[in-house]
Structure 1
């Protein structure tokens, strides 16, 4: 395809036409030719055959009109090209904006969660959970058996007395909440059949359904399924786990109940290892969908974690939904 300057006999005629049309060289010509033309104008390096002289014949009116028409056509072509490029750039921006808007719509339901109902707020992990939630700007309602045990004071914290085994009692506290977060801890009873944690989940779920609250994040433990601790140390397997064996069975019952009976709820079970009495750290969180967090050799990466870090991970789940309807083990690096 011929370029527009091919219609001229030589470069000097192009320069002459440009000067007469009073146009900016760099604005309408491709860079390669514009630079060349600009050099011609600045350095006035012309051969005897192409040198523009004062006595050169001035183009006739007809020739001038033709030149201007050609330049006008060129300018139109270049403007159209610029508009096409601008349109393509705009379309790309619109596409990115639409993609971002879609992502925002998908996650906004979790980002706006501000009203949190806490269960087990007087426990070791529960107190860290309450403090961190308040630090992040959430409005917290702590439903506890003994309100006097929760000494945290904050303008965004309400402490109420509740019976976790009564759906009717919980319903009044669950109304208008965005999510339920449970760190319920039950005493280990060596000589009793079961603890009472498995019984409470049914009342909690019933109250959630009546209050139309669909999000629950609850804390469990590593090794809730029998035989999943086979890779851990002998001491842990035959002493500590034997002591808390019944509690682990109860936690497993809760996990099964959520998995099989609560498909209408957006539940997540968080499984930390043993809990130390320590605040949150800046350590990297290690996460694995399973009953413990393994290293490359399938050996558990840790035996304990700070309750503050368990609380930190639980609150992080409010920002998205990668673990909806899943049980996830966590630890720190």
Structure 2
């Protein structure tokens, strides 16, 4: 695959994947990104210009998408509206991007016979009880609980239908919660880190018992590349690194790693429909494709992430005040 179209490549996970391609392949990349508030072209500033073309545009733009897909060997589709809080306050953009946008991508790869890998989330499965020993697997029924996760579930089902009905050469991956560089400060881990940097007490939804299965974004990128290169067409792969932590432990780990008292945070009202627990069984990915995560020590990955935000305040500072003003309006 000499040329790859990465949709949403200026977003958090997409930008990290572009960096991963630069480091581990000889491929050139076309990045298509709408540059909404969560997209940041500065995240790609150090990508070699002779290996990347940046296109400012929307995945709902059928003419643009068709033209770009016609010139590449594969599409990796990251572009999505992805924040639960935003989907609760205004669901419509999630329908436009996650459903209509994915349909547009599917029609283009169908027309041109181009390989597609579709990026999704473990949130399509709903949540698990805190004391449930089970984990999500490829056969877990979909049970989304927010407009965000519902539209991602819908996009997954579109991909499956286009594979079966039209023979589209596609794979899907559902990944657990990512952390690492270039993540918007509205998200849980970077919000807490940047609060501490600015001398503001971090904020924890509810009691903080909600569990997420954390994975460093570098490990997500390596898994996606492995699936793109070796994955079975029509197959779904779950990506996870056995990183289950509840939100209370994560915020306390951040405080300790940043030299603060473990209890130096405030509780705020919980989010409506806040899922209890996510947990990923990545057995298929590990056994069939031989993938293993590099970041098996969550605290080490978290420390590296903290160091990145400390060193890159110029990247996140423009986002911070607007984000906190938005949260202040809803008491979170």
TM-score of the superposed pair, with normalisation by structure 2? 0.52
Mapped partners of 1:205, 1:305: distance in 2: 28
Aligned partner of 1:125 in structure 2 is 13
- Map 1:237-316 onto structure 2 (within 5 A): 245-263=146-164, 264-278=167-181, 303-316=213-226
1:265 Cα deviation from its structure 2 partner: 1.0
Find out whether 1:317 has 2:212 as its counterpart.
Answer: no
Query: Are the equivalent residues in 1 in contact too, given 2:33–2:79 (CA < 8 A)?
Result: no
Instruction: Indicate conservation of the 8 Å contact 1:168/1:207, yes or no.
Output: no
Q: Please, which of 233, 237, 252 is the counterpart of residue 328 of structure 1?
A: 237
| Residues in 1 aligned to 2:125 and 2:162: alpha-carbon distance in whole angstroms | 18
**Alpha-carbon shift at residue 148 of structure 1 (Å):** 4.0
Q: Residue 153 of structure 1 is aligned with which of 47, 62, 65?
A: 47
Q: Could you tell me how far apart the structure 1 residues matched to 2:20 and 2:73 are?
A: 17
Contact 2:7 2:14 in 1 (8 A): yes
Q: Deviations over 1:109-159 (max 9, x none)?
A: xxxx12110001111111110011122211111112248444233121111
Q: Structure 1 residues 138, 193: CA separation in 2 closer, same or farther (over 3 Å shift)?
A: same
1:34-183 aligned at under 5 Å gives the runs: 113-135=1-23, 136-146=25-35, 148-149=41-42, 150-154=44-48, 155-183=50-78
How many equivalent pairs are there? 190
Q: Distance in 1 between matches of 2:174 and 2:68?
A: 26
CA offset at residue 257 of structure 1? 0.9
Tell me which of the two structures has the higher relative contact order, counting C-alpha pairs closer than 8 angstroms and 6 or more residues apart.
2
Preserved CA contact (<8 Å) 1:273 1:330 = yes
**Contact 1:134–1:157 under 8 Å retained in 2:** no
Shift of 1:223: 3.5
Distance of 1:325 and 1:207 partners within structure 2: 17
Q: Please state whether the residue corresponding to 2:17 is helix, strand or coil.
A: helix
What is the RMSD computed on CA atoms of the aligned residues? 2.8
How far the C-alpha of 1:278 sits from its partner, in A, is 4.9
1:230 correspondence with 2:128: yes
Task: Tell me the secondary structure at the aligned position of residue 172 of structure 1.
Answer: helix
Residue 22 of structure 2 aligns to a residue whose secondary structure is: helix
Matched residue, 1:216: 116
Moved over 6 A (4+): none
Partners in 2 of 1:232 and 1:269 — Cα distance?
27
CA gap of 1:200–1:269, structure 2 versus 1, over 3 A, is: same
1:243 is displaced (CA, Å) by 11
Structure 1 SS opposite 2:100: helix
Report the secondary structure of 2:219's partner residue: helix
Shift of 1:232: 4.2
1:203 matched to which residue of 2?
Answer: 104
Q: CA deviation at 1:270?
A: 1.1
1:189 aligns with 2:189: no
Query: What's the secondary structure of 1:259's corresponding residue?
Result: helix
Q: TM-score, normalised by structure 1?
A: 0.52
